Amino acid sequence: MEIKRVYEKLNKVELKSEKIELSSVGELEKEIKKMKGALDYLDKRIVEGDKYIDEIIKYRNFSLDVYSKLSKIKVKMHEVAQEKLDKFEKAAKELGVSVNNIPQVKEIKKLISETEKAMQEKENLLKNFNKIGIK
């Protein structure tokens, strides 16, 4: 009778042990699944973030190109526009005509002003890129 009890107790201990093992493995499997899901999510977000960074860099490069071209145009434009405007104003003065009422004079002055404003906006944009570390 004693041997029978010992076997029964051993069977109960083995069954409890297997149940604990299965339960522990199940818990580990749940954690593994959660961790894989989290890592997969992070990987996707990192890839997405890299795409945004690439787009920002493309925009920065585009802005630099525009700024560079605008800088060259601005110098030429100012020289040519100012020279022509000076000649025009001189001729108008000799004729006794006020240039303040001539639409083309107003327009060229406006365009020069808008070009200067665009240059300043591009300079500010580039400064902002530099501030956030995108060079």
Alpha-carbon span 53 to 64, nearest angstrom: 16
- Longest distance between any two alpha carbons in the chain, whole Å: 135
Q: Cα–Cα distance between 121 and 127 in angstroms, integer?
A: 10
Give the Cα separation of 19 and 68 in Å (integer): 73
Ranges of each domain in the chain: 2-131
Residue 134 carries which DSSP code?
-
Instruction: Provide the whole-model pTM.
Output: 0.45
Query: What does the pLDDT profile of the chain (135 residues) look like in tens digits?
Result: 566 665 566 555 555 555 556 567 788 888 889 999 988 988 898 889 888 888 888 888 887 787 777 777 666 777 788 788 889 888 888 888 888 888 888 898 888 788 778 777 777 877 777 777 665
